[in-house]
Structure 1
Amino acid sequence: MRTKNPRTPLSRERALAAAVTLADAEGIQALTMRRLAAELGVEAMSLYYHLPGKEGLLDGIVDTVIDEIDAAVRRAEATGVDTEWRTGLRQRFLAAREVMLRHSWAPALLGSRPTIPASVYAYYDGIVATLIGGGFSYRLAHRAIHAFGSLALGFAQEIFRPASAGGQTDVEMAEADLVAMAEALPSLTAMVTAEAHDAADPTLGWCDSQVEFEFTLDLLLDGLERARD
């Protein structure tokens, strides 16, 4: 008689991993409890034993992304030979960015949550520890955290046209808006036109390119070194 393969038990970790995969494939807007249950081959009500509704699901995938960033940072630290504070923070932020580029919906989701997950506080605690270990006072470390903003998590907060909760920006509409505003805002329009990104440059929004991310990060690190000295 043929033996049936046992089904993998449903767990919070398995559900969240499937949710992240679904969001990567179809965008965060496609993620519902019913759709996730179908992907997992279970009844929708089964998910509620592990995740308290849609809001609990979204909080959970934020935690999953932060855990992924922590793992990427540990790998970067393990392969690095230079433990100097500046190199350590640069590696940390670029490792976080690699994670965000894999999950382009994550920056907008992080900004939309009503509460800050505990995992985010733990992540920033590591940044403060690096600064203090590098000779910074707590006052300068506090100011550095403000200056870094979302760069510490691997993305630059949008200014003029933030991405939607689905992690996408309507570029064509934005370009049409700029054409309409060209007479009223000639300098801003000229700058945006001149700085249009190459299609090969990975972006996380209207103006968050890899070049701009690293330029801003290095500028801040240079300034912090001067302030510390």
Structure 2
Amino acid sequence: MALSREKVLDAALRLAGEHGLAGLSMRKLAADVGVEAMSLYNHVANKGDLLDGLTARVFESVPLPGPGPWDERLRALTHGLYTAFSRHPVVVRALATDAANPRSAGALKFIDAMFSALLDAGLDERGAARGYRSLIGLVFGAVLTETVGLSGVPDPSDLERAEPVVAWFQRSVTADGLPSLHRALPSLLDGDCLQDFEAQLDLVIGGLRASVG
């Protein structure tokens, strides 16, 4: 079967997930798809184009909602991006460090759909840009918080500590010294990442709704 840009990018996305961005090389990618390294340049211009392309593939995988209320469309798009990034957290790291940008027509359609919902909410252009950044930041933070094993980030289970962090918090946070944190600590330690993301998304969308009256 003939090699295509899409097949190259999908293979690169898988390898980056397995070995991290630092472990993704043209040589390894060529071996994975069964060609000589030089043959890859028929499909990607360079390493930067490769990283941009695999990032764009993740954006393109998010289904675009049909017509409907702006908040329902915004929720579907944000949740879809969260789900896609959760499958490929290495892409979040690439975006956060500006190592990659989603340069493709499909990725731009996703971003356009986000802005369409925000503008339909009644926000002006500056407000829509702020809302977009807030939602993207929410997705990035949620994925990075709940995901371990990213390139350059040690797995917490591999690190030795004299005292587990939960035990340290429970010992250090006292009702006398830190009364508010002490009151909230059981809920904080019992938090579920997916539930937190849903609650945070509710807050952001609620704030956007309130900002336009």
Listed one character per residue, the Cα deviations across residues 50-98 of structure 1 (whole Å, up to 9, x for unaligned) are 22333322122111111112xx2x2xx24xxx71111111111111122
Maintained 8 Å contact 1:33/1:44: yes
Q: 2:77 matched to 1:92?
A: yes
5+ long unaligned stretches in structure 1? 1-7, 202-208
Match of 1:212 in 2: 196
1:159 CA drift (Å): 9.0
Question: Cα RMSD (Å) of the superposition?
Answer: 3.7
Q: Name the amino acid aligned to 1:156.
A: G
Match of 1:137 in 2: 124
CA–CA separation in structure 2 for the residues paired with 1:95 and 1:30: 27
- Using a 3 Å threshold, how does the CA distance of structure 1 residues 114 and 15 change in structure 2: closer, same or farther? closer
Match of 1:36 in 2: 29
CA–CA separation in structure 2 for the residues paired with 1:130 and 1:16: 29
Q: 2:211 matched to 1:224?
A: no
1:40 CA drift (Å): 0.9
Match of 1:123 in 2: 110
Match of 2:176 in 1: none
Maintained 8 Å contact 2:13/2:54: yes
For normalisation by structure 1, the TM-score amounts to: 0.69
Q: 2:51 matched to 1:58?
A: yes
Maintained 8 Å contact 1:162/1:169: no
CA–CA separation in structure 2 for the residues paired with 1:33 and 1:215: 41
Q: 2:53 matched to 1:68?
A: no
% identity of equivalent residues:
30
Which of 15, 24, 30 aligns to 1:22? It is 15
CA–CA separation in structure 2 for the residues paired with 1:177 and 1:130: 49
More helix, by proportion? 2
For normalisation by structure 2, the TM-score amounts to: 0.74
CA–CA separation in structure 1 for the residues paired with 2:16 and 2:150: 12
Maintained 8 Å contact 1:33/1:54: yes
Q: Name the amino acid aligned to 1:147.
A: S
Match of 1:195 in 2: 189
Match of 2:40 in 1: 47
1:142 CA drift (Å): 2.9
